[in-house]
Amino acid sequence: MASTVRIYPRAEHCISRSQISENALKVLVRLKKADFEAYLVGGCVRDLLLGREPKDFDVATNASPEQVKQIFRNCRIIGRRFRLAHVFFGREIIEVATFRGSEADESDQQVVHEDGRLLRDNVFGTLEEDVWRRDFTVNALYYNIRDFSVVDYTGGMQDHAAGVLRLIGDPQVRYREDPVRMLRAVRFAVKLGFTLHLDTEKPIHDQAELLKSIPAARLYDEMLKLFLSGYGLQTFELLRHFGLFAILFPTADRCLETQDHDFPRLFLVRALENSDKRFAEGKSLTPYFLLAAVLWEPLRMVAQKRIRQGENETLAYQNAANEVLSAQIKITAMPRHITQAMRDVWFLQNKFTRTVGSRPYRLLEQAKFRAAYDFLQLRAETGGADPELVGWWTRFQEADDDLRQKMTAPPKDSAGKPRRKTGRYHPRSRQASQE
Ligand code: ATP
Ligand code: MG
């Protein structure tokens, strides 16, 4: 591809060495001293230009992974699809990638699937070739350690200044090569507050289906980045807009299509809002809570059908969970500890209605009690459970032993005798009344 390069000298950009991780600088300087080219590239350059702290630092070089390994003792070569060197500094990993070439040579180093997907791509090349393999123009800026300039072949600096996310090359071809780029487009547009260039945006809706060819483990990783990086709600809205959410969570999307007065959408919106808020406060985020929320409505639908067919509630929910989860892991492979935690949160929901006798005490001791209680609260806030029930559990947690005993005492009948059957809370919410 014909290309003109623009070099932005140090005086024409805002990236200063003081913002760059010391370890990344070490890697760059050592490569330079060994007479190799060395650049920062990708998200770190993009984020530094915005004055933001990068998530991680990626280095590009003309040294092969083996040559990198010779320079750094603390280095491991990883990957098959893209062979890379990881240089370890305690918990920080600096990823060092050798420039990729643009043309496949006689060897089998580049493998293209018949549907156009790039399966293996280990042809090494020059910076000028490497540029065109990157996804967006703003991700293809190279910070040169030799003179601290930024090297730009694709107009990324102008796009960056204009807040535009533009795919390099022909978008249809680039999405076919790697459909995950559609998810990345959404993720970066939201995270950076950039607009998608029209040509980059246009093919997404029609090509969304291509994501079905992506291995479930990779989609799970991408999905976590989409929802747990602090912009979950906006990301969700944009994914739905492009029909991408329907590919990631088909059962949940179908429920949203049949929504009634903003329900169950509002529940999901609140769950995402909460987790974005937690992220902003620097609190930890676990995937299972959000995933449990996303798949809650599909779970309920299946469970209700089973109840109508005569199954008891507990069994219906267990079978529904199996059904919903086994369909979902084919798309986004979730680790077992995550699906187990989701089940725990789900199954505890029905148990909250039992507020008499020893059951509430046992519930309180469950490992996932707190998450399940938060989940219940979220349901109550959005019309899916009785707020009075949440109030009961809030009081029960705060109560001393005496009050707890009173709260869990069996209700008395009109003659003042305790009723024989253990009482059961009767929620009045819409959702509960369907059950
Ligand atoms: P962040 O790390 O903030 O999520 P990033 O842009 O650094 O964003 P990475 O996944 O770390 O994203 O990738 C680093 C760089 O590698 C990208 O900026 C891009 O240049 C290139 N890259 C990553 N994934 C792809 C892809 N699927 N197709 C083309 N280029 C890619
Ligand atoms: Mg990165």
Q: Please say if the pLDDT value at position 427 is more than 50.
A: no
Structural domain includes residue 68: yes
**Given the CA of residue 181, which atom of ligand 1 is nearest to it?**
27
CA distance 55 to 348: 36
- The answer to whether residue 405 sits within a structural domain is no
Please name the residue that has the structure tokens 């059962």: 251
- Whether ligand 1 lies within 6 angstroms of the CB of 177 is answered as no
Please state the rounded mean pLDDT for residues 125-142.
Answer: 95
User: Is there an atom of ligand 1 within 6 Å of 221 CB?
Assistant: no
| 90 has a pLDDT exceeding 80 | yes
Mean of pLDDT values over 103-121: 60
- Assess if residue 275 is contained within a domain: no
Mean per-residue pLDDT, 397-406:
91
pLDDT tens per residue, range 276-306: 999 999 998 999 999 999 999 999 999 999 9
Rounded average pLDDT over 71-79: 94
CA of 177 to the centre of ligand 1 (A): 15
Atom of ligand 1 nearest to the CA of 97: 16
**Atom 2 of ligand 1 has which residue's CA nearest to it?**
43
58 noted as active-site residue:
yes
201 versus 430: the higher-pLDDT residue is: 201
pLDDT for 302: 97
Q: How far is CA 377 from CA 5, 7, 286, 383, in A?
A: 56, 55, 18, 10
Cis peptide bond prior to 360, omega within 30° of 0: no
Residue 29 lies in a domain: yes
Inside any domain, residue 216: no
Is pLDDT of 425 > 70? Answer: no
Q: Which amino acid is at 184?
A: R
Residue 41: CATH number of its domain: 3.30.460.10
| pLDDT tens per residue across span 175-229 | 999 999 999 999 999 999 999 999 999 999 999 999 999 999 999 999 999 999 9
Distance 278 CA to ligand 2 centre (A): 22
332 band by pLDDT with thresholds 50, 70 and 90: very high
Do the beta carbons of residue 410 and residue 357 sit within 8 Å? yes
Q: In total, how many domains does the chain have?
A: 1
Burial 333-351 (b: 16+ CB within 10 A, else e): ebeeebbebbbbbbbbbeb
- The verdict on the CB of residue 43 being under 6 Å from ligand 1 is yes
Residue 374 counted as domain residue: no
Judged by its nearest atom, the ligand closest to the C-alpha of residue 57 is 2
The predicted pLDDT at position 423 comes to: 47
pTM: 0.89
| Choice among 121, 130, 135, 386 that is catalytic | 135
Torsion of CA 12, 17, 20, 25, to 10 degrees: 120
Q: Please confirm, yes or no, whether 262 is among the known catalytic residues.
A: no
Residue 105 lies in a domain: yes
Tell me the two tokens of residue 289: 């809570």
- Give residue 61's domain range: 1-168
CB under 8 Å to 129, separation ≥6 — which residues?
Answer: 99, 100, 101, 102
Can you give the pLDDT at residue 357?
87
Query: Does residue 221 have an active-site annotation?
Result: no
pLDDT of the residue at 110: 62
